[in-house]
């Protein structure tokens, strides 16, 4: 298992004590900052939630992200608080989605939806495995490794042997689905570096599936990322092309380079840092650094089509874009890599109502580029 991780900030001449100081400042901002800074909210003596401040709700995305950050920084109390809130309010113990987590809840715990979003489940499972290895298993819901295995079992086996529901992965092409039962995917949900570890730690009968899923997700990302720009669409068909079909629940577009899409090259960067395997997906990291260089120098990011043409004047998450492009440096070194890392180093975290998503990706990028996003 990997035991050395790149500290890209240090490689580019930033002093280790400055890096560590900045990391703890980011932690304090995210968890315990002012009201227009923090996203972590304790509840009672033993629970807490991460708020999506742009939508005033609690999402499995944010809860699982918060848990991953906590296990990386050895914050067990905060981890357990988040996990207990998720299991108390988000987990669905029966019905069609039994074993999954409702993707959105109100801050008082009431479910806004009775359906899951698969990126939450895969992050929950990975964070729980890491917690088991870092802190040891406890009892009940804090038997972390058991909880992780049960999540993954549900993800693959719903609908079998009379069990209600549908799986979160397409068992034929090994691709994660945007929602269970749908016939398309989200490129930013593809986390081959997680699947490599699920292939070691999931229930034994499922390990061959996860091993294959890691390979297929890397190959999928080659198709999903535009050759010139490195951009992926928010939602995409199983062949990687942007998903342009009308959705029954929204009139919004999702075939362009927008919010979800920013995570894709960040994931490619972390996957390469952890496992060093390239099926061609690392080319996207090189392309995006080069394509967005001029916009990065101007400090103005747009809404883009995947081919790079401008589809809207101002990006909704202008902090998330340079953070994730900087993280892509882990997968591809270019003539602009230092510039992207220095730009990110000098970039403040976001304040105000839209801070949640930007600062989650900012935090992950800082962890990764400082060598603190690790396999436990």
pLDDT at 162: 82
**Dihedral in degrees, nearest 10, Cα atoms 60, 61, 67, 70:** -150
Show the tokens assigned to 50: 């991460």
Looking at residue 312, what is its pLDDT? Answer: 86
Considering the candidates 37, 52, 57, 61, report the single residue annotated as catalytic: 61
Average pLDDT, rounded, for the chain: 97
Structural domain includes residue 114: no
Is residue 165 situated within a structural domain? Answer: no
Which pair of tokens denotes residue 51? 């708020």
Q: How far apart are CA 172 and CA 99, in angstroms?
A: 22
- Mean pLDDT for 176-191 is 97
| Tally of structural domains, the chain | 1
- The angle that helices 144-157 and 118-135 make with each other, rounded to 10 degrees, is 150
Which of 37, 122, 196, 260 is catalytic? The answer is 260
* Domain assignment of residue 159, yes or no: no
| 39-53 pLDDT per residue, tens | 999 999 999 999 999
Distances (CA, A) of 348 to 17, 158, 319, 322, 363: 18, 43, 8, 11, 11
CATH number at residue 237: 1.50.10.10
Q: In angstroms, rounded to a whole number, what is the distance separating the alpha carbons of residues 366 and 361? A: 9
- Write down the pTM of the prediction: 0.98
Establish whether 61 is a catalytic residue. Answer: yes
Tokens 């669409």, located at residue = 233
Sign of the alpha-carbon dihedral angle for 4, 8, 14, 18: negative
pLDDT of residue 260: 97
Q: Lowest-pLDDT range, 15-24, 154-163, 236-245, 329-338?
A: 154-163
What letters, b where the CB count within 10 A reaches 16 and e where it falls short, cover 118-146? bbbbbbbbbbbbbbbbebeeeeebbbbbe
* Digit-coded pLDDT (tens) for 312-343: 889 999 999 999 999 999 999 999 999 999 99
To the query of whether residue 260 is one of the catalytic residues in this protein, the response is: yes
pLDDT for 234 equals 98
Confidence of residue 255 (pLDDT cuts 50, 70, 90): very high
pLDDT band at 352 (very low <50, low <70, confident <90, very high): very high
From residue 38, give the alpha-carbon distance in Å to each of 25, 42, 49, 80, 81: 12, 11, 11, 18, 16
Domain that holds residue 306: 1-33+224-376
- Alpha-carbon dihedral sign for residues 125, 127, 131, 133: positive
Contacts for 238 with CB less than 8 Å, ≥ 6 apart: 170, 173, 175, 183, 184, 185, 220
* pLDDT tier, 250 (very low <50, low <70, confident <90, very high otherwise): confident
The CA–CA distances, whole Å, from 156 to 183, 287, 302 equal: 15, 34, 37
Has residue 325 been placed in a domain?
yes
Residue 354 located in a structural domain: yes
- The whole-number pLDDT of residue 3 equals 84
Residue 338 has a CB neighbour count (10 Å cut-off) of 15
Question: Residue 251 — very low, low, confident or very high, per pLDDT cuts 50/70/90?
Answer: confident
């Amino acid at each position: 298992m990997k035991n050395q991780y790149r500290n890209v900030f240090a490689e580019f001449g930033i002093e280790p004590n400055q890096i560590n100081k900045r990391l703890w400042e980011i932690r304090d901002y995210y968890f315990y900052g002012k009201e227009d800074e923090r996203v972590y909210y304790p509840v009672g003596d033993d629970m807490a939630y991460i708020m999506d401040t742009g939508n005033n709700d609690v999402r499995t995305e944010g809860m699982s992200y918060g848990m991953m950050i906590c296990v990386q920084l050895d914050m067990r109390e905060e981890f357990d608080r988040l996990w207990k809130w998720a299991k108390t309010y988000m987990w669905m113990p029966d019905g069609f989605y039994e074993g999954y987590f409702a993707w959105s809840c109100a801050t008082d715990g009431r479910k806004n939806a009775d359906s899951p979003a698969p990126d939450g489940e895969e992050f929950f499972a990975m964070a729980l495995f890491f917690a088991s290895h870092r802190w040891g298993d406890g009892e009940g819901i804090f038997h972390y490794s058991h909880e992780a295995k049960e999540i993954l079992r549900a993800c693959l086996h719903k609908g079998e042997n009379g069990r209600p529901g549908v799986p979160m992965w397409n068992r034929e092409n090994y691709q994660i689905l945007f929602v269970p039962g749908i016939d398309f995917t989200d490129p930013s949900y593809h986390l081959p570096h997680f699947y490599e570890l699920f292939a070691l730690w999931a229930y034994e009968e499922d390990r061959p599936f996860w091993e294959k899923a890691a390979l297929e997700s890397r190959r999928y990302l080659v198709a999903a990322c535009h050759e010139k720009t490195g951009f992926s669409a928010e939602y995409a068909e199983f062949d990687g092309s942007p998903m342009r079909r009308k959705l029954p629940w929204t009139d919004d577009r999702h075939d362009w380079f927008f919010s979800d899409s920013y995570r894709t090259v960040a994931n490619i960067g972390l996957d390469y840092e952890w496992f060093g395997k390239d099926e061609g997906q690392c080319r996207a990291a090189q392309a995006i650094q080069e394509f967005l260089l001029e916009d990065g120098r101007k400090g103005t990011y747009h809404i883009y089509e995947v081919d790079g043409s401008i589809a809207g004047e101002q990006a909704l998450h202008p902090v998330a874009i340079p953070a994730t492009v900087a993280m892509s440096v882990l997968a591809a070194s270019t003539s602009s890599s230092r510039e992207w890392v220095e730009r990110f180093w000098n970039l403040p975290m976001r304040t105000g109502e839209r801070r949640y998503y930007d600062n989650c990706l900012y935090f992950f990028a800082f962890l990764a580029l400082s060598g603190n996003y690790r396999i436990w």
